[in-house]
Chain A
Amino acid sequence: MPKDKRNIRYRSALFLLTVGSILFFFGNVIFGSISISIWDVIGIFTGQEADIAYRRIIVDIRLPRATAAFLLGGALALSGYLLQTFFHNPIAGPFVLGISSGSKLAVSLVMVFLLGKSVSISSSGLIVAAFVGALSSMGFVLLMSRQVRSMSLLVVGGVMIGYICTAVTDFVITFAEDADIVNLHNWSRGSFSGMSWEYVAMMAAVVAVTVWIVFFLSKPISAYQLGESYAENIGVDVCRLRILLILLSSLLSACVVAYAGPISFVGIAVPHLVKLLLGTSEPIWMIPSCFLGGSMFCLICDLIARTVFAPTELSISTVTAVFGAPVVLWVLVRQKNERQL
């Protein structure tokens, strides 16, 4: 396809994703287990008189939750994209590589410890704990990636690290004594529920800064995709870029785990779906599209999780797995076909 036509395709895909995420964002605000009419919602937004309970549901529950799904979904997808780039491995993602589980373990350790002393943890403290956990898992994965060259083995190793962390987390949670542990249990399964505006503000700041930096790395990332030796030759500081990729992807996935717990398959599946939509792997298009794609994906999944069996709420990972896992299978099959090409 000639360049001009391709540019039109990229732009329309980006436009589609933007419109889609806005649409589902409002979908998430309007629909819920308690039905509030669209007119009431509009009324609340335009500052008209409204039922106090409705107003609270919209402003203090649904809006922060939808915002969190938007921000964290994007962060997850982008984190997956960075990891796939880093490992030159299409089935890498924060969840399969055990990075989310590392964060989960660190956060629950910190929480249980502090709850025991009845100190509440600040939202930035959560991110720091999750980041440390993510980096320690990442450290193991990196050590392993030096030993094993095969990408499928690397993923299996990551899954094992994930299981170990999850087992220890369950252990910690089971033996912790506190009423708040119920919340902890919900969180450890992955959920966007219980978001406060304080949390949302913090995650917005972290995600915005990180995504901004990632976007400015799109040029070196495009060179890195060609392979390390060629990237080096065209003037990329490969070592520095690798460190940045690790730090940024860990930070993004840590931010998600800190607030919503581990969410599976978004990081791995969304970059592939977006790539299919765009028809390119150019980072300058992939980075914003992945973010929006992840946002839209999580908004859709959260809407399903909340409404399909309302008032019972599904864990978000249940829904993301239903949609994400087939994508991963498809990638694996296609990968094999292309090698025979």
Chain B
Amino acid sequence: MRDCYFFTEKMCVGHGSPIIKDIEIMLPKGEILTLIGANGAGKSTVLKSIAGQLRLLGGTIYLEKETLSEMDRKALARKMSVVFTERLKTELMTCEDVVATGRYPYTGRFGRLSEEDRQIVREAMDLIRVTEIRDTDFRKISDGQRQRVMLARAICQEPEILILDEPISYLDIRHKLEFLSVLQEMREKKQLTVLMSMHELELAKIISDKILCLKGEYVLRYGTPEEIFESDFIEQLFDITEERFASNEKFLTYIRKVGRYG
């Protein structure tokens, strides 16, 4: 277990008072973990605690055998990047400027970008396909575009581990697939490790190596997609009862499709 790239030991998270206790995650380098659960189940709280936004209420997080909370902040910034659901505050910044903020841990005292930094920014924007809005004001683009710019920003930070809170929630289906395939590619080429939360169950099943299900005070289940998407577990996780939709044949069919087989 201690050989794992990323793992947590009895991690306990919450805003002041504990919401979820004894979270034990083990993630080898280059794997993708997805958190699923109902609204308010604590997915963001877990991700924010891992990213160091929230103080841990108990337990320890290890990254490459080092305790995360004791790691040097600047060294960590070169290893871990994040995309939260919370909006970035910008003023008079173009999308390219926003993406370039990901280079912060690599620039000098005054934060001037080198030619190499610029190159990396351009590549990240190409990869996520936001190059055409590079000179547009970040406040004037749509939610979906904004989400993609934020993803490009996280990628140009050149992380080893990426923390994403509902990264594709605003994207159309094409961009959802495109982004997930970028993740998959980066995981194969660069051994990128990903921890994210998602509501798109079908996609979570395809992309993830591990899935963590949150419900109530403890982790409800942790395992491979095959283990999670079996029998009626999803219905249990989201409290979907067939009786509630009994009168609607179309809904019933859908529930059976998603719930049972992802």
Please give me the residue from chain A that is nearest to B80 by CB atom. Answer: A233
Question: What is the total number of residues of chain A having a CB less than 8 Å from a CB of chain B?
Answer: 27
Q: How distant is the Cα of A232 from the Cα of B74 in the complex, in angstroms?
A: 10
Of B77, B91, B109, B140, which one neighbours A233 at CB under 8 angstroms? B77
Known contacts A223-B101, A223-B104; decide if A338 and B139 are in contact (CB<8 Å): yes
Of B74, B102, B110, which one neighbours A218 at CB under 8 angstroms? B110
- Contact residues of A with B, CB < 8 Å? 1-3, 88, 216, 218-219, 222-223, 225-227, 229-230, 232-237, 275, 279-281, 284, 338, 341
Query: A214: shortest Cβ distance to chain B, in Å?
Result: 13
Chain B 69-83: CB-based contact to A (< 8 A → 1; otherwise 0): 000011011101110
Say yes or no: B77 contacts A275, CB within 8 Å. no
Say yes or no: B104 contacts A275, CB within 8 Å. no
Interface residues on B, range: 35 or more
Q: How distant is the Cα of A3 from the Cα of B74 in the complex, in angstroms?
A: 27
Contacts of A1 in B (CB 8 A): 94, 135
- Contact residues of B with A, CB < 8 Å? 48, 51-53, 73-74, 76-78, 80-82, 84, 86-94, 96, 101-102, 104-105, 107, 109-111, 135, 139-140, 157
Say yes or no: B77 contacts A219, CB within 8 Å. no
Jot down 12 A-B pairs with beta carbons below 8 A, ordered by A.
A219-B104, A225-B90, A226-B90, A230-B82, A232-B53, A234-B81, A234-B105, A235-B73, A235-B78, A235-B104, A281-B91, A281-B93
How many A-B residue contacts, CB cutoff 8 Å? 77
Q: How distant is the Cα of A4 from the Cα of B256 in the complex, in angstroms?
A: 57
Say yes or no: B82 contacts A218, CB within 8 Å. no
Q: How distant is the Cα of A284 from the Cα of B107 in the complex, in angstroms?
A: 14
Q: How distant is the Cα of A230 from the Cα of B140 in the complex, in angstroms?
A: 20
Q: How distant is the Cα of A280 from the Cα of B109 in the complex, in angstroms?
A: 20
Contacts of A229 in B (CB 8 A): 48, 51, 53, 82, 84, 86
Contacts of B135 in A (CB 8 A): 1-2
